[in-house]
Homo-oligomer: A and B are copies of this chain.
Amino acid sequence: MSREKGPDHSRRKERSRQAILAAARALVTEETYEKVTVEAIAARAGVGKQTIYRRWPSKSAVVVAALLALSEDADGQSVTLPDTGDLRADLVLVMRATVEEFADPSFDKLIRAVNTELTNDPTLAAEYREKLAGPLDEAKKARLRSAQKAGQLASDADLDLALEMLYAPLFLRWLHRSGPLTTAYADSLVDATLRAFAP
- Please report A residues at the B interface, Cβ cutoff 8 Å: 112, 115-116, 118-120, 122, 125, 128-129, 133, 158, 160-162, 164-165, 167-169, 171-173, 175-179, 188-189, 192-193, 195-198
- Residue on B nearest A196 in the bound complex, by CB: B196
Interface of A is mostly: helix
Asked if B188 contacts A192 (CB within 8 A), the reply is no
Chain A to chain B contacts (Cβ below 8 Å), 10 pairs: A116-B116, A116-B119, A125-B177, A161-B188, A161-B192, A165-B165, A165-B189, A165-B193, A168-B173, A196-B196
Which 8 A-B pairs have CB atoms at the shortest separation, nearest pair first? A196-B196, A164-B169, A168-B168, A168-B172, A168-B169, A192-B196, A195-B196, A165-B165
Contacts of A175 in B (CB 8 A): 118-119
Asked if A129 contacts B178 (CB within 8 A), the reply is yes
Contacts of A161 in B (CB 8 A): 169, 188-189, 192
Task: Other than A161-B192, A165-B193, give 4 A-B pairs with Cβ distance below 8 A.
Answer: A118-B176, A165-B165, A168-B168, A195-B197
